[in-house]
Amino acid sequence: IEEDNQQGVAELLEDLHPADIAEMMEDLTMEEAKFIYRLLDGETASDVLVEMDEADRRRLLRELPSEIIVSKFIDFMDSDDAADVVADLDEDQQREVLNEIGDIEQAGDIVDLLEYDEDSAGGIMAKELVKVNENWNVATCLKEISKQAEEVDEIFYIYVTDDDDKLKGVLSLKKLILSNTNTKIANLYNPEIKKVITDTRQEEVAEIMDKYDLVAIPVVDDIGRLKGRITWDDVIDIVREEAERDYQMVSGITGDVESSDKVWPLIRARFPWLMVGLLGGIVSATILKTHGDSLSKVTQLAFFIPLIAAMAGNVGVQSSSIIVKTIASGVKDMETPTRKLLKDISVAFLTATAFSVLIFIYNFFTAGDLRLTYAVSISLFIVILFASLFGTIIPLVLHKFKIDPALATGPFITTMNDILGMFIYLGVASLFFNLG
């Protein structure tokens, strides 16, 4: 397609949406991508950059001089996107780029935004918003809004502040249009407004906006001054990221890979948890080795090793993913810890009973040795009980120590419970066959 036919390519690009161009870029080499960027106007180029995959973007930025980054991208961006781009650069380049920005106000906004933790409301908000003073009237407002609106992609809400820039309330564009031009804003706005503070965690922001169906939420500092706003598209990204991280954890994949990725990233994403599984398998083998006598005397014991391991693993993954999801949803639990523990124990107890009865019935009719039947049922009972409690407790403990509880889903809990399962199974079996 691309034989330096500048004219043709430029025409082709004109009809495409920035998001489509960004998607296309991912399949191109660095040289081809640079060639495309040269053909795009600033507005489009900056939109494409925002839509691009983070890793690709970082690589591209590293190759560009600071003047180009500013004149081609930063100048056309909203403050939140600009701050993201600057944050991706190394420190020297950051300073260069910031000094290159002509508009001192924009540079200041970016510096402000870089101060905040990137997972906090401050880190994801944009400085661009439309605000009016409560003492103005409708006519002044409309004039002021058309001035401010140039910098803002979509207005959504108009925020009302007092003389100290403290957030007082919100006003819809609809209401403003339908009101008499002499009416004072103070009489129009809605003072009941949901807002977040700059250091609110981004997950909490997403929850609030989702719960109250807000298309944008204002961000204030500790003393209530309006600092920025977060819009719905940021929230979708948070929800998606969160869900994806949990999904990857439970599947035992590290990093964000898709089947269209190259061979090497795919292997790298799989390796760590498979390594954990391998080490777990070696530990299990060692446990079995110490019971080598029992196994050689009663070969039938070996038959149920996969069953015990599978049940231990599955129960553990279920328990851990239920509790991780509950922690993530952030719902304050009304249940007291004791009642909660009692309930978890009853669920585990009933599940354990059901499945050990089932396997008892099966073995009763198929296995010759009644001792084996007892040993398998009883150890399955104990294994399910412990696997279930471990699955619940370990994520809770991790959460307590501020470690991501999702770490303890998937292969981690499966491996732990495999080992636990072997330990219990052969311990119980030894008792039954007096092989201690």
The residue among 117 and 243 lying less far from its own copies, judged by its C-beta, is 243
The residue among 23 and 88 lying less far from its own copies, judged by its C-beta, is 23
Other Cβ atoms within 10 Å of 142 Cβ, number:
17
The residue among 140 and 326 lying less far from its own copies, judged by its C-beta, is 326
Q: How far is the CB of 46 from its own copies (least distance, A)?
A: 14
Measured distance CA(232)–CA(253) in Å, rounded: 29
Q: How far is the CB of 310 from its own copies (least distance, A)?
A: 5
Q: Using CB atoms within 10 Å of the CB of residue 314, give its burial: 0 to 12 exposed, 13 to 18 middle, 19+ buried.
A: middle
Measured distance CA(291)–CA(286) in Å, rounded: 9
Q: How far is the CB of 384 from its own copies (least distance, A)?
A: 8
Greatest alpha-carbon pair distance for the chain in Å reads: 97
Q: How far is the CB of 396 from its own copies (least distance, A)?
A: 10
The residue among 73 and 423 lying less far from its own copies, judged by its C-beta, is 423
The residue among 34 and 245 lying less far from its own copies, judged by its C-beta, is 245
Q: How far is the CB of 122 from its own copies (least distance, A)?
A: 21
Q: How far is the CB of 258 from its own copies (least distance, A)?
A: 5
Identify which of 87, 73, 156, 98 has the alpha carbon closest to the alpha carbon of residue 123: 87
The residue among 79 and 321 lying less far from its own copies, judged by its C-beta, is 321
